[in-house]
Chain A
């Protein structure tokens, strides 16, 4: 789950990290009221989950109420790379002396946590990584040992920050690592981490991605899940517990397992079709899940045929078949369905489907045959 900047700052503040005081608002009047309360100058920042907000004009400094009103009215509703700005974060402006970069994430190759620290913050850190790799100082952290203060000090020393920033940075990095681990984050990134002219170190931006698998021990994360940006189809799929990514084609796809679903998208493309979506019903999906998946795909007007590709391990063939039959009884499925069903209890599943087979519901023996049939049906349906 990707957090908006304001949520990220609130998340970091919860672990004692200094962030500028501010308020998240959704109207121009509320933005001005927030700024009046905070005191000028303020920064008005568009809240979207995409980089390059500044260049797009989504971050503006306001030195009085009139400027704040003008900026907020321009930024609210603005489109930034396809994301509409619904919320702005109004915060007290900070006088910046220096800008740094700090993050923690998992290094999947090393199978350890990786801290990245740079004295060159505030800019595109990927450019720094490419042009001046020595300016990005890495620290691998064994999850069992954690991050000690002495290791943090040595790391900060290697990064060559302004001596005035060292104590504050050591303190923030300790808290940031705690937030990363205890908060079950996939990523915590502060860019820029600033040294203010007054000598304080604080987080001026926050990019936080939380692990959705950890929600069982973080019930409060429901509120972040509720603000995830999803298109209509994705939202409908998410409500049903399905992994769905909308694509632009006409062949609706339902598969079990991310690998098989990806492979199904590949094979539909390879035989000349255009997938309408990626949809993984997951392991052990039952009839209700399958029926829900078909409903989500059925609601996509671009879909001309549906390819259900199931290889049962933990998912059982008769459950899949029952789900298809249940969905057919519950809603009118517009597009013809091509099914490929193998694995656990596949024969029982095919037996359940047998009486329902016809022009609108066909079974093919292999993934490749089924892909070709689904693509042919999609073509026939659109002409």
Chain B
């Protein structure tokens, strides 16, 4: 099962002909991902190491049956690339690109929700999604992820996503799916979306959530955990010792209310019943103890 992606997922890359797209597209294929196409209007008909290049996402979807698009195009082109992917007919858009203006993010998030309600967006500025041993889409170093289960990971920070995978591997704990939702102002997929998927996934028995200071995504996750999660959650929130940064004027402070600090997020998560580690290593150890206490049938994988 896993969530979002598995070995049957067919993926195309917008930006496969660029340096980063090529490196990670090929790395994803080496991992075992079904990398079926790339797009570039000026290079249609050519190929990247055997992966056919099409002019548009629509063409690529028609010819290859791709259901996921992974975006590596530079930030100025992301808004158009996201819309091209949705119009082209994919079900999931994974946007790796960082530095996308916040106004573009807010615009395409709302445009997708309204005009393409069946299309999901992950990112921008995210490491992607990996179902270890089966499918890796994005920039995660696949070898650090232990296949199997029973833990699902969802993280706002790229490098902390890798750290979480690494910590679990050190404890010999497998991962069903690891989703990096990205830390940008308007993430297409939220903690709450992923917690819901993991709650519904029979292969996932527990969830590790990696948050960071700013915004209110962790508080919203805590509310969801309290109301709708039966599976245990272990969390870590980065930035506990960060000095108070520049706040975004009064309007920003009003929007976030008292939320946004690591202490407030940790309190909210604890109050919701989540186990919170002081650092990634401690979170990994908390998860190891929790898994050991699960019935063997659930622990399996």
Give the B-binding residues of A (Cβ under 8 A).
2, 103-109, 111-114, 116, 124-126, 129, 136, 142-144, 181, 184, 186-187, 189, 191, 207, 209, 211, 213-214, 216-217, 245, 247, 255-260, 262-263, 265-267, 269-270, 275, 278, 283-284, 311-314, 342-344, 366-368
Are the CB atoms of A213 and B241 closer together than 8 Å?
no
Q: Closest Cβ of chain B: how far from A271's Cβ, in Å?
A: 9
**Cβ of B117 under 8 Å from chain A:** no
**Cβ of B255 under 8 Å from chain A:** yes
Are the CB atoms of A209 and B238 closer together than 8 Å?
no
**Given A191-B250, A342-B162, A368-B281, are A258 and B212 also a contact pair (CB < 8 Å)?**
yes
- A residues within 8 A CB of B215? 108-109
Q: List 7 A-B contacts (CB under 8 A).
A: A109-B215, A111-B109, A262-B213, A263-B160, A269-B241, A283-B98, A342-B144
- B residues within 8 A CB of A126? 250, 253-254
**Cβ of B195 under 8 Å from chain A:** no
Once the chains are docked, how many angstroms separate the CA of A127 from the CA of B131?
A: 48
Q: Of residues B144, B212, B256, which shows the largest number of chain A Cβ atoms within 10 Å of its Cβ?
A: B144
Once the chains are docked, how many angstroms separate the CA of A235 from the CA of B62?
A: 50
**Cβ of B89 under 8 Å from chain A:** no
Are the CB atoms of A213 and B101 closer together than 8 Å?
yes
Q: Which 6 A-B pairs have the closest CB atoms?
A: A259-B157, A257-B159, A260-B159, A259-B160, A214-B101, A103-B251
As a 0/1 sequence over residues 101 to 135 of chain B, the CB contacts with chain A under 8 angstroms (1 = contact) are 11100110111001000000000000100000000
- A residues within 8 A CB of B144? 342-343
- A residues within 8 A CB of B172? none
- A residues within 8 A CB of B159? 255-257, 259-260, 311, 313
Once the chains are docked, how many angstroms separate the CA of A269 from the CA of B241?
A: 7
> Contact check: which of B163, B220, B248 meets A109 at CB < 8 Å?
B220
**Cβ of B286 under 8 Å from chain A:** no
Q: Closest Cβ of chain A: how far from B88's Cβ, in Å?
A: 20
Q: How many residues of B contact A (CB 8 A)?
A: 64
Are the CB atoms of B106 and A113 closer together than 8 Å?
yes
- A residues within 8 A CB of B253? 126
Q: By DSSP majority rule, is chain A's interface helix, strand, loop, or mixed?
A: mixed
- B residues within 8 A CB of A343? 141, 144, 162
**Cβ of B296 under 8 Å from chain A:** no
Once the chains are docked, how many angstroms separate the CA of A265 from the CA of B243?
A: 10
Once the chains are docked, how many angstroms separate the CA of A130 from the CA of B249?
A: 16
Are the CB atoms of A125 and B75 closer together than 8 Å?
no
Once the chains are docked, how many angstroms separate the CA of A87 from the CA of B186?
A: 36
Are the CB atoms of A129 and B254 closer together than 8 Å?
yes
- B residues within 8 A CB of A144? 107, 110-111, 114
Are the CB atoms of B251 and A189 closer together than 8 Å?
yes
Are the CB atoms of A311 and B162 closer together than 8 Å?
yes
- A residues within 8 A CB of B243? 245, 247
Once the chains are docked, how many angstroms separate the CA of A313 from the CA of B186?
A: 22
**From residue 144 to 162 of chain B, which have CB atoms closer than 8 A to chain A?**
144, 155-162
Are the CB atoms of A284 and B157 closer together than 8 Å?
no
**From residue 222 to 247 of chain B, which have CB atoms closer than 8 A to chain A?**
236, 238-243, 245-246
Are the CB atoms of A213 and B141 closer together than 8 Å?
no
Give the A-binding residues of B (Cβ under 8 A).
20, 24, 75-76, 98-103, 106-107, 109-111, 114, 127, 139-141, 144, 155-163, 166, 170, 183, 185-186, 210, 212-213, 215-217, 220, 236, 238-243, 245-246, 248-256, 278-281
In the complex, residue of chain B having the shortest beta-carbon distance to the beta carbon of A275? B241
Are the CB atoms of B103 and A217 closer together than 8 Å?
no
Once the chains are docked, how many angstroms separate the CA of A248 from the CA of B163?
A: 26
Q: Closest Cβ of chain B: how far from A318's Cβ, in Å?
A: 13
Are the CB atoms of A112 and B248 closer together than 8 Å?
no
In the complex, residue of chain B having the shortest beta-carbon distance to the beta carbon of A269? B241
Once the chains are docked, how many angstroms separate the CA of A367 from the CA of B238?
A: 14
Are the CB atoms of A106 and B110 closer together than 8 Å?
no
**Given A103-B251, A125-B254, A283-B98, are A265 and B246 also a contact pair (CB < 8 Å)?**
no
Once the chains are docked, how many angstroms separate the CA of A2 from the CA of B247?
A: 10
Are the CB atoms of A186 and B157 closer together than 8 Å?
no
**Given A187-B251, A209-B249, A216-B76, are A109 and B216 also a contact pair (CB < 8 Å)?**
yes
Are the CB atoms of A262 and B139 closer together than 8 Å?
no
Query: Can you name 11 extra interface pairs (CB under 8 A) apart from A143-B103, A263-B280, A266-B240?
Result: A105-B251, A109-B255, A113-B106, A126-B253, A143-B110, A211-B101, A213-B101, A213-B102, A259-B156, A263-B239, A266-B278
Q: Closest Cβ of chain B: how far from A92's Cβ, in Å?
A: 25
> Contact check: which of B141, B241, B249, B281 meets A312 at CB < 8 Å?
B141
Are the CB atoms of B250 and A189 closer together than 8 Å?
yes
- A residues within 8 A CB of B245? 245
> Contact check: which of A107, A214, A313 meets B141 at CB < 8 Å?
A313
Q: Closest Cβ of chain B: how far from A193's Cβ, in Å?
A: 13
**Given A181-B103, A343-B141, are A283 and B238 also a contact pair (CB < 8 Å)?**
no
- B residues within 8 A CB of A270? 241, 278-279
Are the CB atoms of B279 and A263 closer together than 8 Å?
yes
Q: Closest Cβ of chain A: how far from B33's Cβ, in Å?
A: 16
- B residues within 8 A CB of A184? 101-103
Q: Closest Cβ of chain B: how far from A10's Cβ, in Å?
A: 18
Are the CB atoms of B216 and A311 closer together than 8 Å?
no
Once the chains are docked, how many angstroms separate the CA of A2 from the CA of B248?
A: 9
Are the CB atoms of A213 and B75 closer together than 8 Å?
yes
- B residues within 8 A CB of A269? 241
In the complex, residue of chain B having the shortest beta-carbon distance to the beta carbon of A133? B254
- B residues within 8 A CB of A211? 101-103
Once the chains are docked, how many angstroms separate the CA of A184 from the CA of B280?
A: 35
**Given A211-B101, A312-B141, are A263 and B238 also a contact pair (CB < 8 Å)?**
yes
Once the chains are docked, how many angstroms separate the CA of A207 from the CA of B247?
A: 12
